[in-house]
Amino acid sequence: MSDCIFCKIVQKEIPSEIVYEDQELMAFKDIQPLAPVHIVIIPKVHLRSVNDITPENEPLVGRLFGVVRRLAEEFEVNESGYRVVSNMGTDGGQIVGHLHFHLLGGQALNARIG
């Protein structure tokens, strides 16, 4: 998607602080961190949100969660705790229309969900 900011990050057209990359997945530091550890994990393929996940790409999303687990270890929040969030659509507060998961940790997070 030519006008998608995360596709541009995948294509390295705009810089980002990449912390993980393989053929299908990428993780980078959020540009406006909401916690000491705030990493965005994405599939490289342009899916708009969780709503776009089909049976064909469910294994990819499963693998993405393996990356989340390893990043939680690498950034040393696996024992203190962390949150994984994917915002979807207007009520979900989604700003970037490319499926992504936030990994947040490094401090006690607000217990509220909404």
Q: Is 7 among the residues that bind Zn ion (CB under 5 A)?
A: yes
Among residue numbers 74 through 103, which ones bind ligand AMP (CB under 6 A)? 87, 93-96
100 is catalytic: yes
* Candidate list 38, 46, 98, 100, residue with the active-site label: 100
Length of the chain: 114
Least distance (Å) between residue 59 CB and ligand AMP: 23
Beta strands in 1-114 (DSSP E): 18-21, 25-29, 37-43, 82-85, 101-105
DSSP 8-state assignment for residue 34: S
Name the token pair of 29: 């530091």
**Residues binding Zn ion: number (CB under 5 A):** 6
Write the DSSP assignment of 91-111 as a string of letters: HHT--S-S--EEEEESSPPPS
- Name the residue with tokens 């270890």: 73
Least distance (Å) between residue 40 CB and Zn ion: 12
Least distance (Å) between residue 39 CB and Zn ion: 17
In the complex with Zn ion, the residue whose CB is nearer, 6 or 101, is: 6
User: Contact residues for ligand AMP (CB under 6 A)?
Assistant: 5, 14, 16, 28, 30-32, 40, 87, 93-96
